[in-house]
Structure 1
């Protein structure tokens, strides 16, 4: 989510944009276009296919962060797009480089994040021969990117880069992929870099606002669900003001908890994996749902069960910046093509009722949330998964983090059952405090945390990663160390692919296959990269280890050993297995 103000309609064009330009290489023109569009960092893995662009960066005022694998830098660029609201920029080479980066493109697509991936490509005279590392990127990325194209001539670089910036940010934001033939980048032409126009910001019509007011007036059990992208800090503040003025319960969509202060008295919780049963019932029984900015896809909709398809049983007001998303799955009572801020500004102009039928429901919803999000008291050492015999109680870990971390801390994570502890028990306080993939992509947390710490070095950044999750992008510890990114990495090591094991025990109880992990000494690995590292062998060891990590002022890694049986805050693997066996008879 953007923490920056809305950019001007036209970005200032650097002095290089002379109306009588001298011939420059395609690589130089491309980098000039990035400067014209206010790009302040590029993430990359170098490749011989775009050496001319790498050469142009030598003379540019755009820093490069060089990662260790294309998936990692693509995640970093996606996280940058989440944080800024402007396209995160990533450069990779052809063939295998692009294939590795596809994971980050998929995250950007599912998470509605602006991003541009530039891919070095074979020479134009070699196309169609199955040349070295040749891939048709239009075919490869067309299902997960908003727009994919190859820049055939250097003269068209300004045009196509400007279009890429607009496309990535307009409507429902997402990724754009541009292929760069290596010979095109060496061509010398005289052309002018341009800055893209700002993406349009649609807003509600007067008729839609009046209809919305009628729906609110007739409601008895309304609930607001905030999610998606294209939020500004001002819009977040306006939503809180409206919630107070109208006494409304506000929930957030899956991994969008930053959109409403979780300690606010009108916060009802997050509609995602492991939803609070009380919140699930509240949404299901509501007579008016205001879905603000989100798509309500599979995870948030509880497997498409919260709303009937295609016509929900609740009255639904669906507000979304992408007109194509309205009515795509759910036929709303009222569909409004608007960015969240514009819709909220219009809502703020309405007069709230003096005694709404739903008075007091927000307080009840928040009380339910507080009860759900408070970690249980630890049990005696020695109990399964609760800190005895060298194992760490994740409930206590979360309680310590809540007590010790500043309100503005950034919490990053990838995917796995370990994340259930974070999303249930961590209370996010505002914009820019969460970096987590709604796409459920493993390996995302560490690269995202690196991007966050590079962008805001004075801010506390914590990544919680599972052992399987971390090993998808563990090599990016080298990137963090090189960049001086002093984040805190908490490794939750239970020796299994936890989410898959959970489903395996549910479907095939007692028949374990391919879900055990042989893990390294993660603390030793951190030390090899020059990080402060600690092995947390018991629950009592965690708080002093965290204090030492935060005080170290450098990259830190805390290796926690946890019980694989304590698979989520709500259940254990042994209980899942027993239930599945009983069901089989």
Structure 2
């Protein structure tokens, strides 16, 4: 039976198991939109292409399969670029469909014409243009496979509007299986020997591949359980804190910006580093200064280990999920090593994650506020971070129950928090999704709360408001003290703003008001199923908490 290429694109997405597409509609892909009309796939209409891309990014992080975004040519593609860059640097599987001008109009500087490969060729795994209507299904299957295999990342598909309406007798094709290398016995034996010989080993976990689309793989919990028995502490890469559950006796904290000074010292002392799902990049190594001389094992699905810098003594090509199915016996990996080293790192992390009042001159004490959030939020909450200093209290004081509970831009892109939390609430409507952002981050994509209202999503948004771009102010004070420039903001009343989206707002000026405000906000998102917002007003002079843990108590 004949069908249009645009409708075949939709049918192939159905065959791939896609449940949602995030889109800002455009006249360049009308036939795909028409195919979605009768499809079981939910079309989530975003208010900005960056929001659509970040929602798709969140879908990928939380489900283990590529997120799908659809935007139009020219300006739409430009707006979506930030999500592609984030997926590229963060190794997140994403497929972006971009409507294009008709084939006959190419090369004439036509309305909204641009070079798809020229724009995306350096920041996507593949750029494919559908010029043959008969290959519509094949191209989609190819893109989904490329986005997920090896080092995951974004794939961009161009859809010329005249090709989409051409008819074809082709049908959907079987999805391509994604291979996952499993370490062989020799590699496992070698790893066991290295671990058994080490006195101070440290695992650094991160990246993607800790869960699967079916929800029946939890590699993080498996790794943590094994690490406890093998007496190997586990730390997380920057904004990959959900790789392992924080309740584990092996959990030792996170590396990267505003990591614990104690953990950084321990990493420098480690005699064996095992990177699983991530590599030694500039952020977790404090600008390539930590752990460069330690014996190093790298476990990555990318045989080129492109994200790793420096020494490699053993390389294992595997995803986190396939690696954890082949771990050596914990007894063999433990050797004669006791638990003193692991326990010391875990104790240091507990001290670091214990809130200590900061007593700001004005506004809310964020250490107290985030300590209360840790206490009151459900254990299975999903945290969606923006970028900037405002997120650092959340990184330090909020824990994770395991993989699939965090979405955050490891590349530092602002504007991720709100769309990611909106999508998280759609993917997991039975869980509380929390956006944690500064005032600058919120206003980059806060308009996606309109999607929450339209789709029945109910995120909790925590906006830390100091009226400045605090991260930049911090750098200015270091390099140009006393000369603030271009970093001040005038903000709306955020609590009132969410009311216009049908949500519940709390304007919080003092620390004493935080607890009750959290309770009312949680009641709104869980019982009334409406979005809620906590507007935490803080002193503009407030800077991130010290990276030193509170003083160690006697006997601890």
Distance in 2 (CA, whole Å) between partners of 1:132 and 1:365 is 59
What residue is the counterpart of 1:63 in the other structure? Answer: 42
What residue is the counterpart of 2:541 in the other structure? Answer: 565
Q: Deviation digits for residues 492-525 of structure 1, max 9, x if unmatched?
A: 1100001011101111111111000111111121
- Using a 3 Å threshold, how does the CA distance of structure 1 residues 524 and 353 change in structure 2: closer, same or farther? closer
Alignment of 1:100 onto 2:103: no
Further displaced range: 22-31 or 84-93: 22-31
- Secondary structure of 1:164's aligned partner: helix
- Secondary structure of 2:311's aligned partner: coil
Q: Tell me the TM-score normalised to structure 2 length.
A: 0.94
Distance in 2 (CA, whole Å) between partners of 1:462 and 1:474 is 13
Tell whether the 8 Å contact from 2:495 to 2:507 is kept in structure 1 after alignment: yes
Report the alpha carbon displacement of residue 344 of structure 1 after superposing the two structures with TM: 2.3
Distance in 2 (CA, whole Å) between partners of 1:354 and 1:183 is 63
Distance in 1 (CA, whole Å) between partners of 2:509 and 2:285 is 38
Alignment of 1:517 onto 2:484: no
RMSD value, Cα: 1.5
Aligned partner of 1:173 among 152, 165, 168: 152
- Secondary structure of 1:91's aligned partner: strand
Aligned partner of 2:259 among 249, 269, 275: 275
Report the alpha carbon displacement of residue 266 of structure 1 after superposing the two structures with TM: 1.5
Alignment of 1:289 onto 2:273: yes
- Using a 3 Å threshold, how does the CA distance of structure 1 residues 29 and 327 change in structure 2: closer, same or farther? closer
Aligned partner of 1:299 among 272, 277, 283: 283
Q: Deviation digits for residues 304-333 of structure 1, max 9, x if unmatched?
A: 22143xxxx100000101112168522300
Distance in 2 (CA, whole Å) between partners of 1:123 and 1:375 is 58
Tell whether the 8 Å contact from 1:437 to 1:444 is kept in structure 2 after alignment: yes
Report the alpha carbon displacement of residue 354 of structure 1 after superposing the two structures with TM: 6.8
Distance in 1 (CA, whole Å) between partners of 2:428 and 2:334 is 43
Distance in 2 (CA, whole Å) between partners of 1:230 and 1:355 is 29
What residue is the counterpart of 1:556 in the other structure? Answer: 532
Aligned partner of 1:369 among 344, 349, 353: 349
- Secondary structure of 1:352's aligned partner: helix
Further displaced range: 551-560 or 360-369: 551-560
- Secondary structure of 2:203's aligned partner: strand
Report the alpha carbon displacement of residue 38 of structure 1 after superposing the two structures with TM: 0.8
Report the alpha carbon displacement of residue 297 of structure 1 after superposing the two structures with TM: 2.1
Distance in 2 (CA, whole Å) between partners of 1:358 and 1:298 is 31
Report the alpha carbon displacement of residue 150 of structure 1 after superposing the two structures with TM: 0.6
Distance in 2 (CA, whole Å) between partners of 1:325 and 1:339 is 12
What residue is the counterpart of 2:243 in the other structure? Answer: 259
Alignment of 1:405 onto 2:385: no
Q: Deviation digits for residues 231-277 of structure 1, max 9, x if unmatched?
A: 13432222122112111111111111112221322111011211111
What residue is the counterpart of 1:19 in the other structure? Answer: none
Distance in 2 (CA, whole Å) between partners of 1:234 and 1:62 is 26
Tell whether the 8 Å contact from 1:253 to 1:296 is kept in structure 2 after alignment: no
Aligned partner of 1:148 among 127, 142, 152: 127
What residue is the counterpart of 1:419 in the other structure? Answer: 391
Alignment of 1:392 onto 2:364: yes
Tell whether the 8 Å contact from 1:222 to 1:358 is kept in structure 2 after alignment: no
Report the alpha carbon displacement of residue 350 of structure 1 after superposing the two structures with TM: 5.8
Tell whether the 8 Å contact from 2:386 to 2:414 is kept in structure 1 after alignment: yes
What residue is the counterpart of 1:360 in the other structure? Answer: 340
Q: Tell me the TM-score normalised to structure 1 length.
A: 0.90
Map 1:22-37 → 2, pairs under 5 A: 22-37=1-16
- Secondary structure of 1:347's aligned partner: coil
Report the alpha carbon displacement of residue 449 of structure 1 after superposing the two structures with TM: 0.2
Report the alpha carbon displacement of residue 186 of structure 1 after superposing the two structures with TM: 0.8
Distance in 2 (CA, whole Å) between partners of 1:260 and 1:499 is 28
Report the alpha carbon displacement of residue 300 of structure 1 after superposing the two structures with TM: 1.6
What residue is the counterpart of 2:297 in the other structure? Answer: 317
Distance in 1 (CA, whole Å) between partners of 2:391 and 2:409 is 11
Distance in 1 (CA, whole Å) between partners of 2:423 and 2:467 is 28
- Secondary structure of 1:325's aligned partner: coil
Aligned partner of 2:401 among 429, 432, 437: 429
- Using a 3 Å threshold, how does the CA distance of structure 1 residues 356 and 480 change in structure 2: closer, same or farther? same
- Secondary structure of 1:215's aligned partner: helix
What residue is the counterpart of 2:190 in the other structure? Answer: 211
What residue is the counterpart of 2:451 in the other structure? Answer: 479
Map 1:16-95 → 2, pairs under 5 A: 22-95=1-74
Q: What number of residue pairs does the alignment pair up?
A: 538
Structure 2's unaligned 5+ residue stretches are 212-216, 548-556
Report the alpha carbon displacement of residue 463 of structure 1 after superposing the two structures with TM: 1.0
What residue is the counterpart of 1:244 in the other structure? Answer: 228
Tell whether the 8 Å contact from 1:320 to 1:326 is kept in structure 2 after alignment: no
Tell whether the 8 Å contact from 2:279 to 2:308 is kept in structure 1 after alignment: no
Report the alpha carbon displacement of residue 567 of structure 1 after superposing the two structures with TM: 1.4
Tell whether the 8 Å contact from 1:408 to 1:459 is kept in structure 2 after alignment: yes
Report the alpha carbon displacement of residue 216 of structure 1 after superposing the two structures with TM: 1.6
Report the alpha carbon displacement of residue 217 of structure 1 after superposing the two structures with TM: 2.4
Distance in 2 (CA, whole Å) between partners of 1:480 and 1:465 is 17
Alignment of 1:507 onto 2:483: no
Distance in 1 (CA, whole Å) between partners of 2:317 and 2:335 is 30
